[in-house]
Amino acid sequence: MRIGMPLNYSGGFKETVDELALYEKAGLDIVYVPEAYSFDAVSQLGFIAARTERLEIASGILQIYTRTPTLTAMTAAGLDYVSNGRFTLGIGASGPQVIEGFHGVPYHAPLGRTREIVEICRQVWRRERVQHQGKHYNIPLPAEQGTGLGKPLKLINHPVRERIPIMIAAIGPKNVAMVAEIAEAWEPIFYLPEKAGEVWGESLAAGKAKRDPSLPELDVVAQAPLAIGDGTEELRELIRPHIALYVGGMGAKGKNFYNNLARRYGYEAEAEKIQDLYLSGKKEEAAAAVPQDLLEKTCLIGSEGYVRERLAAFKESGVTTLNVTPLAGTAEERTKLIEKVKNLAAEV
C-alpha cells in the first residue's frame, strides 16, 4: 500500500508544508489538499509542488460545481506541469450545504455531471478541439444559448501527460459503480474494511465489468488517523467529534450521505441518535454516541500489533493507498510515525 497524508484545510498549512520534506524522506508517497469553504486547493498544491521533489500531489477534492469542466482540466494540466507529472485530479460532488450555501449553485445531477466532466477533461488533455454536447454541459455553447460566436478550441499548451489520473470521492451505490467504471482512483470516507465488501462490493463489481481495459487497476484510497504505541488508545477519543460532525451535521434529515453510510454499515439506531443530538446543538453528546466499534475500526490508533492487524485488514479489503493523519505533537514524532507505518505496511 502507498502511504499518503491529507492536509488540514482549517489552518497550519505553511507549517505542514515545511515538514513535507521530512515526510518525503520518511517514505510518504502522496499528499492530498482538500477544498471545502476554505483557502482554495490549487494555490496550495502549486506551493507544495515547488517545495517537494518526489512526493505526488493530489486535490482531495475539488468540487465539481465550482469550476467549468474545461477550467478543471486546465488546472489539472497546469498542476501536472509544475510538478513534473506528479499530480492526481481528485474531484467530488460535496453536498448541498456547501455548494448551494457557499457557492450559490444548484446541487443537482452529481453523477451525470461527474461523468461528463471526466470525458471533457480527458478530451482537453489529449489536445482535441473540445466538442461536447451532453445533458449538463454543452461545449461550444449552442448559438441559441449565447452569441453564436463560440467555436471549438484546443488547449494551447502541451500537457506533461494526456492521461492525468482522476480520483473521485464517492460513497453512494450508483456513484461508486460509476467511479469503478471510469476513474483511476476511488476515495470513500470512514472506510471500515470489514464492511466494505458488504456495502460497496456489488457496486464496484458492476462498475469494473464496464471498465475500459486501458485504465489501470482501481486505486482505492482510504483514510485513517494514525498513532502507534501502548497507551495511544485514548487518542481515538479525539476522532469522535469529527465523525459526529459528518454523520450528524453534514446535511439535513434524509439528506446526509454520511449518515446514510453509517446506517449501511449497520449502525442505524446510532446514526439516528447522533444526528438528532447534533442537529439539536448537543455536539458533545453526539460525539459520545459514536459507536466504539466504528471508531476503532476506522482508525490506526493503538499498539504496534494492533496497527499491523488493521493495516492487514485494510489491505485485504482492497485498499491500495492509505491516507493517514499522524497524531503527534512534533514534526519529528510525526515523521517517525510515517516511517513506522510505511514499514509496517510493507510487511503485511
pLDDT in tens, 66-112: 999 999 999 999 999 999 999 999 999 998 989 999 999 999 999 99
Provide the domain limits for residue 133. 2-226+303-347
Per-residue pLDDT reduced to its tens digit, 243-281: 999 999 998 999 899 999 999 999 999 999 999 999 999
Whether residue 138 is found in the same domain as residue 209? yes
Whether residue 200 is found in the same domain as residue 147? yes
Whether residue 288 is found in the same domain as residue 141? no
As a residue count, the chain comes to 348
Spatial neighbors of 25 by CB under 8 A, at least 6 apart, are: 335
Which CATH number covers residue 187?
3.20.20.30
Spatial neighbors of 170 by CB under 8 A, at least 6 apart, are: 92, 176, 178, 179, 186, 187, 188
User: What is the reported pTM?
Assistant: 0.96
Whether residue 170 is found in the same domain as residue 273? no
Whether residue 175 is found in the same domain as residue 208? yes
Whether residue 104 is found in the same domain as residue 253? no
Is residue 115 within 8 Å of residue 178, measured between CB atoms? Answer: yes
Whether residue 167 is found in the same domain as residue 291? no
Per-residue pLDDT reduced to its tens digit, 125-140: 999 999 999 999 999 9
Whether residue 166 is found in the same domain as residue 284? no
Give how many domains the chain has, as a whole number. Answer: 2
Whether residue 193 is found in the same domain as residue 241? no
